[in-house]
Structure 1
C-alpha cells in the first residue's frame, strides 16, 4: 500500500510540476514586451513602411492603426477604393505625422491577370522601405451566399475564389516581396483557429490550415537562408468590428483594435504560430485537452447551429 501511495504521490508531483511549468511559460509569453520596434528603423533616410493586405476594415485596419501609432508609414490594400480612402482618412486623423498610401487590387483575378497585378504591386513597393508585410486578406469568395454549406453544395467559382482569397494571392505576393525586404523584417500572416477542420466551411478551414503549415515552412526557410525575417502566424477566434461580425467587443470576443494590439504584442515571442489574444489562447489550450470524440461532437453541433443561423440571414 505504501508503494502505491509513493507512486501516486510521485505522479501527482510530476503533474503539478508540469502544469506549473505550463502556467509560467504562458505568463512569460503573454507578459513579455514585444520586439516590434526592431523593425522600425530608417534606411538611407527612408522611413519604415508596413504593408497590410485586406486593410480597408476589420482586423487589417486595426493592425494598420496600431502600426501607425507605433510610427510606421502605412501602405493599405483592398479592392474598394472608397473604403480604402476612408481608411486612409481614419489613420491620418489619429496619426497626422505619418504617410498613408493605398493599393487597389482584386485578389480573385484569374491566372495571368493575378500575376500582372502582383508585378504592378511590386513596382509600387520597390521604392519604399517596407520592413513589415502583413498578409491579412482572406475570407469567403466575394458574393458567396450562404457562407456555410456542404462541400458538394460549394460551387466551382466559390472553391476557386476561396483558394485565391486565402492562398494564391498571399503566396504570389510574399514570393515577389521577399527579395525586397531588408534585414531585419517581419512577415505576419493572419490565419484562423478554424484550421482545426470545421464542417460547412471546409474550403476556408482547409485554406487556413495551409496558412499555418506554410508559415512554419517559410519561417524555417528564412532561418536556413540566413535571412533576418521573422515569420509569424496569428490564429484569431471570434473578433468583432469585422465585415462578418459587428457586435460590440467583450471580454472573450475583442474588437479588431484590441485584437490588433494583442497581435503586435506577440512579435518576437519565439513562437511561429500562436493566438493574438490571451483569452483565445486559454480557450485553445482547453480545447486541446478534450478527447477527440468530445471535440468532434462539439464541433459538429456548433457548426450545424451556425449553418442554420446563416440560412436565416439570407
Structure 2
C-alpha cells in the first residue's frame, strides 16, 4: 500500500500545482487595485502603443493615473494615441518619442535612443512596458526569406527590448523603485515548439529568460521585473492564425487583456494575467507534445500555402535586403 499512497500523494501534488495559478488569479482579483503611481512612480514608458495590446495597455495605465511616455515609429499614430489618452484621462500628461525599433544598433537608432534617455532622465519613470514586437514573415521556413527579415525580428524583439530596458532602468535603480513588464508569449512557454514561427518563438524565449534573470538581479533594489505570456488576443494578427478560430472562446479583447495585465504588474517574474489564457495554458499542458507539434505543423503548413497563394514571398539575391514589413505584434501569439 505504500506505493499506492506515494502515487496518491504525487497525484495530489500535481493537481495542486495545476490549480495554483487559478487560485492565485482569484486571490488577486479579490484584492484592491495596486496604486502604481505611489508604489513605482508617476510615469510609465510604453513601446508600440499605437495599436492592439500596446494601445489598450497605455490607455489602462492612463486610467490608473500614470503619465505616459509613448515610444513608436509613426508620429501621426503617436499623436492619435496621445489624443485618445487626453480624452480618456484629461489629467494625464503624455510625451512621445519617435523611435523605429527596427533601426536599433544603427546610427539612426542610436540617436533616437539618446533622445529616449534624455526624456526619461528628467522624469520619475516607475513602469516600463516593452510591448513592441515583430511577427514577419508569418508561417515561413527559415529559408523562405532573406536574412534581413530575421535580423529585423532580432533587432525589435531582442535588441530593442534590451536597449530600451537599459535606458530606463538606471533611473529606477537611483530611485530604488520601479517595474519592468516585458510581453513574452505562450508560444515559447506553454507550447513544445512553434513550427514555421521558429525565430519568433526563439526571440520570445529570450524575453522570458531575460526577464527572469533581471527579476533576480534587481528585486533587492526595489524593482519588479516581469514577463507576461499571453496567448491569442482579438485583432488582425490573431485572425491570421487558423488555429485561433479553435481558441476563439479563450481569446480576450485587447482591452480585456490590458486590464488584467496592469492588475498583475509586480506579481511574479512570469505570469499569465488573463484567466482565459490560463485555461488555454492548461489545455496545452495536458495535450501530448507530439500531438500538439503535429497539429501546429499541419496548420502552419496550410497557412503558409494560403499566404504564398495570396502574396508570394520575394526571393532576394544574395547580399540584398528583402522588403519585409515591420509590424508591432501587440497581441496574437504575442
Find the counterpart in structure 1 of residue 187 from structure 2.
Answer: 194
Find the counterpart in structure 1 of residue 307 from structure 2.
Answer: 310
Whether 2:260 is the aligned partner of 1:267: answer: no
Find the counterpart in structure 1 of residue 278 from structure 2.
Answer: 281
Q: 1:280 to 1:178 in 2, by over 3 A?
A: same
- Does the 8 A contact of 1:219 with 1:232 survive in 2? yes
Whether 2:141 is the aligned partner of 1:150: answer: yes
Q: 1:236 to 1:312 in 2, by over 3 A?
A: farther
Structure 2, gaps ≥5 residues long: 312-334
- Does the 8 A contact of 2:195 with 2:293 survive in 1? no
Q: 1:294 to 1:31 in 2, by over 3 A?
A: same
Give TM-score scaled by structure 1 length.
0.86
- Does the 8 A contact of 1:115 with 1:172 survive in 2? no
Mapping of residues 25-174 of structure 1, within 5 Å? 25-33=21-29, 37-41=34-38, 48-109=42-103, 110-140=105-135, 144=136, 146-174=137-165
- Does the 8 A contact of 1:242 with 1:256 survive in 2? no
Shift in Å, 1:242:
5.6
- Does the 8 A contact of 2:67 with 2:93 survive in 1? yes
Shift in Å, 1:202:
1.5
Find the counterpart in structure 1 of residue 250 from structure 2.
Answer: 252
Please give the alpha-carbon distance, in whole angstroms, between the structure 1 residues aligned to 2:77 and 2:13: 52
- Does the 8 A contact of 1:78 with 1:84 survive in 2? yes
Question: RCO (CA 8 Å, sep 6+): is it higher in 1 or 2?
Answer: 2
Q: Deviations over 1:10-60 (max 9, x none)?
A: 6346524641464255223343157863531299xxx70111001011111
Whether 2:286 is the aligned partner of 1:292: answer: no
Q: 1:200 to 1:25 in 2, by over 3 A?
A: closer
Shift in Å, 1:73:
0.8
Shift in Å, 1:289:
2.7
- Does the 8 A contact of 1:215 with 1:233 survive in 2? yes
Give TM-score scaled by structure 2 length.
0.81
Aligned length: 300
Structure 1, gaps ≥5 residues long: none
RMSD: 2.7
Shift in Å, 1:250:
5.8
